[in-house]
Amino acid sequence: MKRLSKLMMLLFLYSIFMAPAGCGVQKEEQEKLVSELRDAKIELTETKSELNQTKAELEKIKNELKSEIARCVQIEKALSEKYSSLIISFEQLSKEKQNMESKAVSARNEALYLRDKMDELIHGIRKVTEELNLVKTANKTLCDQMDALTKEKNQLNEISGQ
């Protein structure tokens, strides 16, 4: 665009300087050329104005993009921090899960051990109960025998006391 504007300006200046000299060009052609140059100048001015407007719009878009990039960088940084935090939390939860699983295995093993001990105790209680029943039966037999002996003794005492 700069080359075009320089070329147009050079052509315009050339025509201004050559117009008074005449250069063997007829007046009608000269007026036509001056008219064309004015039209070109007007068109050049309009194009320059449009170019300036486009530059301003591009500058505005550039500034908007810069602010958008800055906002995206902040969002990316925040997301990166959150991601790091989530990774740390995940690692902590994984460790806690492993600890809980090992505690659960220990608790299960202890429960199995305690169940075995309880089964042993129940078996022991049953044996003691059976032996106690045998002792009760033997005691009853002894009591019955004692009663029988006491009766015999009393009878013998009655017989001998008479």
- CA 134, 139, 142, 144 dihedral sign is negative
State how far the Cα of 89 lies from the Cα of 92, in Å rounded to an integer.
5
Q: pTM for the whole thing?
A: 0.43
The per-residue pLDDT string of the chain (162 residues; one tens digit each, 9 = 90 and over) reads 666 676 667 667 666 666 555 555 578 888 888 888 888 888 888 889 999 999 999 999 999 999 999 999 999 999 999 999 999 999 999 999 999 999 999 999 999 999 999 999 999 999 999 999 999 999 999 999 999 999 988 888 888 876
Q: Where are the domains of the chain?
A: 2-161
Residue 91's φ and ψ, nearest 5 degrees, are: -65, -40
- Cβ of 10: how many Cβ atoms within 10 Å? 10
Q: Token pair for residue 153?
A: 């003794």
State how far the Cα of 158 lies from the Cα of 160, in Å rounded to an integer.
5
Q: What is the DSSP letter of 96?
A: H
